[in-house]
C-alpha cells in the first residue's frame, strides 16, 4: 500500500503569465485537467495576482518578454520578497541566453518556446511542484517506521496545505485510541502490540482513503485523522472493533471527534479538541464515540487551573480532611468502629471542590503523592490529638492511589507518621482500590503483602468495580472487602435484587474477611445489609463525611458507651 505519497485534495493552483493570448490558452489547455490555471497578460498584473494568491500558488509560469514589467524584473522582485520567494518559477523563453540568466536569478526551471510535447510540460510542472513541496517539509520525517502512516509533524503540515486548497470544505478532526492498549502489551508482549498497531493502521487507511483523508500515528496507540465531515462514527467503530488478530487479541477503540472544525484555529488545537473528546470516554466502554463541545474545553481549562494552583493551595492550607464514620452492625446496636479520611479543597473563589474533581486529575500527573502525604500526616496528628484530648479514638483509613504503590519509600513514609504521633498500625488503616490490583497485579500484590506484614490493615476499596477474578482475589493480601457503592444503588433502584450483594458476601466469607458496605443511605438499605450479614456500614444513613470537630461527637458518644 502506498502511504507516503504527498497528496493534497483539490487542484493545485498555477499562474501563467504571458502577454500572448495563444500561449496562455495553450498552457491552460495542457494543464487544466490536473491544475487550476489562472492567467495574467502582463508583468504588473502578474505581480498583483501572485501577491493576492501567495498562500495557494504552487507554481508560476513566466514569460520573459512582457509589457509593463518584464519577466526578468518580476522574477527579481519575487525573489527579494520573503513571502513570495518560495513559490517556484518556470521561465518560458525562446532565447537561450536568458535561460542561464533566469536560473541565476532564482528560476527553478525553464521551458523553451516553441513548446515541447504537452506530456513533457506536464511532467516538468509536476516534478517541480513536488520538489518544492518536498523541500518545504524536508525537516519533517514523513512517516512512522512502525505503521508507515504520516508522522504528526508531517500530518499537521499537510493538513494546513490541504486547507489552502479547499478552504470551504467541511473537515473533521478525529482522534482514535485503543482502550487498555497497555494490557495488550502486558499480556501478549510488545511485538504483538506492534502487530496490532500495524493492523489497525491498515484498517484505518481502508476506511479513510488517502485521496481525501490524512491519517497519522501520534503516539503509541493514538491515531489522528483529518477527513471530510462524517455523520456516523459509530459505523466506523463497528468496522474496527473486534479486529481479531492472529494472536487472538481483539481490540476496542474510542473515538473523539471535533466535527466541521473551525479552520481559524491552529491545526494542532483542532486535534487537541478531538483528543479531549476521546479522553472524556476513556473509562466508559459502552460509549465508543465522543463529540467535542465547548463545555469540554471549559472542563479542560478548569483542570489546568486546578493543577496550576495546587502548590499554592497546599502551602496555604486550602485542603481539609473530613471524616466519615463506619459502624459495625453485627450486634444489636450499631457501634462506631472506624472512619475514612476524605479530603476536600476549600478554594478561595470556587468554594468547596469535591475530590471527585481533582483526585483523578492528580493521579494522572503525580500530584497525588504530595496531597496524600499531606492527608496522611493530618490524619496522624488528628488521631493523636483525639487520644490526648478525648481519651478515645478509632482507626482511620486513608486512601492509597495506584502511583503510591510504586513508591519505594511508601512504608517508611507511613512509619514516620505513626512514630511521630505515637501511634501504631492499628490506628491507621489503608484503602486500596480494586482496580489498582488488576493492573500489574503481581507487583502490586507484593507491595500490599509487605504493607500487611508490616501490620497494616488492608481494605480493598470499590470491590466489584474492577475485573479481578476469584482466583486472583484468593491470593491477594486483604483484611476487608469494601463493596462498591454501585451494588447498593443498583440493588435498590428498580430491581430490588440483592443477589449480587449476596454473592460478594459469599466471596468474602470464603476469603474469611468482613464486608464493608459503602453508600448506605436509607433505613431500608441498612436493614437489608444487616439481614444479609454485612459487618460494617458507611454511608449517609449514619453520616456524611464531616470536619473533624463534628466527627468528635461520634467519638465522645462512643467514649461514653465504652
Q: Which is nearer to ligand C2E, 204 or 451 (CB)?
A: 451
**Closest CB to ligand C2E belongs to which residue?**
539
Q: What single DSSP character describes residue 545? A: -
Which of the choices ligand C2E, Ca ion, none does residue 368 contact, using the CB cut-off of 5 to 8 A by kind?
Answer: ligand C2E
Q: Please report, as residue ranges, which positions from 18 to 77 form the binding site for ligand C2E (by CB under 6 A).
A: none
Among 89, 173, 175, 359, binds ligand C2E (CB under 6 A): 359
444 binds ligand C2E (CB under 6 A): no
Least gap, CB of 484 to Ca ion (angstroms): 6
Find the shortest distance in angstroms from Cβ 561 to ligand C2E: 23
Distance between CA atoms of residues 266 and 260, nearest Å: 14
Least distance from C-beta 311 to ligand C2E, angstroms? 17
Coil, strand or helix at 492:
coil
> Which one of 487, 516, 545, 548 is in contact with ligand C2E (CB under 6 A)?
545
9: left (phi over 0), alpha (psi -120 to 50) or beta: beta
Query: Per DSSP, which regions of 32-74 are E strands?
Result: 35-40, 57-63
Q: Is the dihedral of CA 195, 196, 201, 203 positive or negative?
A: positive
Distance CA 281, CA 268 (A): 21
From 248-256, 372-380, 457-465, 503-511, span contacting Ca ion (CB under 5 A): 457-465
Which range binds ligand C2E by CB under 6 A, 20-28, 31-39, 269-277, 515-523?
Answer: 515-523
Query: Is residue 434 involved in binding Ca ion (CB under 5 A)?
Result: no
- Residue 545, contacted partner among ligand C2E, Ca ion, none, CB below 5-8 A by kind: ligand C2E
Nearest to residue 200, comparing CAs of 161, 137, 154, 144?
144
Our CB check for ligand C2E shows the closer of 77 and 413 to be 413
Contact string 363-382 vs ligand C2E (x = CB under 6 A): -----x---x--x-------
Using CB positions, name the residue nearest to Ca ion.
431
Q: Which long-range contacts (CB under 8 A, 24 or more apart) does 158-164 make?
A: 158/6, 158/8, 158/214, 159/214, 159/226, 159/267, 160/267, 161/8, 161/133, 162/8, 162/9, 162/10, 162/214, 162/226, 163/263, 163/267, 164/55, 164/56
Cα-based distances in Å from 429 to 157, 340, 484: 54, 9, 18
- What's the burial of 366, exposed, middle or buried (CB within 10 Å: 0-12/13-18/19+)? exposed
The verdict on 462 binding Ca ion (CB under 5 A) reads yes
Our CB check for Ca ion shows the closer of 56 and 328 to be 328
Backbone angles phi, psi at 293, to 5 degrees: -140, 165
Q: Which does 342 bind (CB under 5 to 8 A by kind): Ca ion, ligand C2E, none?
A: ligand C2E
Among 93, 147, 152, 401, binds ligand C2E (CB under 6 A): 401
Q: Got the DSSP string for 395-408?
A: -EEEEE-GGGGG-T
- Using CB under 6 A as the binding rule, the residues of this chain from 339 to 358 that contact ligand C2E are 342-343, 354-356
* Nearer to ligand C2E among residue 176 and residue 488 (C-beta): 488
Contact present, 251 and 184 (Cβ < 8 Å): yes
- Among 461, 483, 514, 554, the residue binding Ca ion under the rule CB under 5 A is 461
- Grouping H, G, I as helix, E, B as strand and the rest as coil, residue 539 is coil
Task: Report the length, in residues, of the chain.
Answer: 562
- Distance between CA atoms of 528 and 503, rounded to whole angstroms? 14
Q: Which residues bind Ca ion (CB under 5 A)?
A: 399, 431, 461-462
Q: Which residues bind ligand C2E (CB under 6 A)?
A: 324, 342-343, 354-356, 359, 368, 372, 375, 399, 401, 431, 461-462, 518-521, 538-540, 545
Amino acid at each position: 500500500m502506498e502511504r507516503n505519497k504527498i497528496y493534497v485534495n483539490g487542484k493545485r493552483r498555477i499562474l501563467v503569465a504571458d502577454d500572448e493570448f495563444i500561449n496562455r490558452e495553450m498552457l491552460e489547455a495542457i494543464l487544466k485537467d490536473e491544475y487550476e490555471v489562472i492567467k495574467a497578460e502582463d508583468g504588473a498584473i502578474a505581480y498583483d495576482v501572485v501577491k493576492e494568491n501567495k498562500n495557494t500558488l504552487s507554481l508560476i509560469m513566466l514569460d520573459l518578454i512582457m509589457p509593463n514589467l518584464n519577466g526578468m524584473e518580476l522574477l527579481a522582485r519575487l525573489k527579494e520578497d520573503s513571502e513570495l520567494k518560495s513559490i517556484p518559477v518556470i521561465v518560458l523563453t525562446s532565447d537561450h541566453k536568458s535561460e542561464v540568466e533566469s536560473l541565476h536569478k532564482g528560476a527553478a526551471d525553464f521551458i523553451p518556446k516553441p513548446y515541447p510535447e504537452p506530456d513533457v510540460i506536464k511532467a516538468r510542472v509536476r516534478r517541480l511542484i513536488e520538489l518544492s513541496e518536498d523541500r518545504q517539509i524536508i525537516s519533517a520525517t514523513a512517516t512512522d517506521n512502525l505503521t508507515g502512516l504520516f508522522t504528526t509533524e508531517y500530518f499537521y503540515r499537510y493538513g494546513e496545505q490541504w486547507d489552502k486548497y479547499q478552504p470551504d470544505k467541511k473537515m473533521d478532526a478525529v482522534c482514535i485510541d485503543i482502550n487498555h492498549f497497555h494490557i495488550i502489551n502486558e499480556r501478549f508482549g510488545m511485538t504483538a502490540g506492534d502487530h496490532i498497531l500495524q493492523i489497525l493502521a491498515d484498517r484505518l487507511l481502508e476506511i479513510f482513503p488517502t485521496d481525501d483523508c490524512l491519517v497519522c500515528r501520534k503516539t503509541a496507540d493514538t491515531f489522528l485523522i483529518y477527513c471530510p465531515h462524517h455523520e456516523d462514527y459509530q459505523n466506523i467503530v463497528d468496522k474496527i472493533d473486534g479486529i481479531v488478530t492472529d494472536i487472538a487479541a481483539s481490540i476496542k477503540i474510542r473515538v473523539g471527534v471535533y466535527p466541521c472544525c473551525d479552520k481559524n484555529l491552529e491545526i494542532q488545537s483542532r486535534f487537541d479538541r478531538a483528543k479531549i473528546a476521546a479522553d472524556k470516554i476513556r473509562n466508559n466502554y459502552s460509549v465508543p464515540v465522543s463529540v467535542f463541545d465547548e463545555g469540554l474545553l471549559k472542563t479542560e481549562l478548569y483542570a489546568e487551573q486546578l493543577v496550576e494552583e495546587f502548590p499554592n493551595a497546599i502551602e496555604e492550607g486550602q485542603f481539609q480532611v473530613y471524616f466519615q464514620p463506619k459502624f459495625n452492625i453485627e450486634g444489636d446496636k450499631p457501634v462506631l468502629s472506624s472512619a475514612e479520611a476524605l479530603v476536600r479543597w476549600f478554594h478561595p473563589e470556587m468554594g468547596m471542590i469535591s475530590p471527585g474533581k481533582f483526585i483523578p486529575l492528580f493521579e494522572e500527573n503525580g500530584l497525588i503523592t504530595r496531597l496524600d502525604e499531606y492527608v496522611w500526616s493530618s490524619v496522624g496528628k488528628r488521631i493523636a490529638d483525639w487520644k490526648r484530648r478525648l481519651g478515645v479514638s478509632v482507626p482511620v483509613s486513608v486512601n492509597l492511589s495506584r502511583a503510591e504503590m510504586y513508591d519505594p519509600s511508601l512504608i517508611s513514609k507511613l512509619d514516620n507518621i505513626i512514630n511521630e504521633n505515637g501511634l501504631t498500625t492499628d490506628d491507621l488503616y489503608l484503602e486500596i482500590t480494586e482496580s489498582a490490583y488488576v493492573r500489574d497485579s503481581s507487583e502490586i500484590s507484593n507491595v500490599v503483602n509487605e504493607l500487611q506484614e508490616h501490620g497494616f490493615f488492608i481494605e480493598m476499596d470499590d470491590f466489584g468495580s474492577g475485573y479481578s477474578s476469584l482466583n486472583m482475589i484468593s491470593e491477594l493480601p486483604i483484611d476487608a472487602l469494601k463493596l462498591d457503592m454501585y451494588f447498593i444503588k443498583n440493588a435498590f433502584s428498580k430491581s430490588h435484587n440483592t443477589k449480587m450483594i449476596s454473592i460478594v458476601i459469599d466471596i468474602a466469607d470464603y476469603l474469611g474477611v468482613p464486608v464493608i458496605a459503602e453508600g448506605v443511605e436509607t433505613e431500608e438499605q441498612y436493614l437489608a445489609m444487616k439481614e444479609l450479614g454485612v459487618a460494617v456500614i458507611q454511608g449517609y444513613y449514619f453520616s456524611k463525611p464531616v470536619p473533624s470537630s463534628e466527627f468528635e461527637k461520634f467519638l465522645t458518644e462512643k467514649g461514653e458507651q465504652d
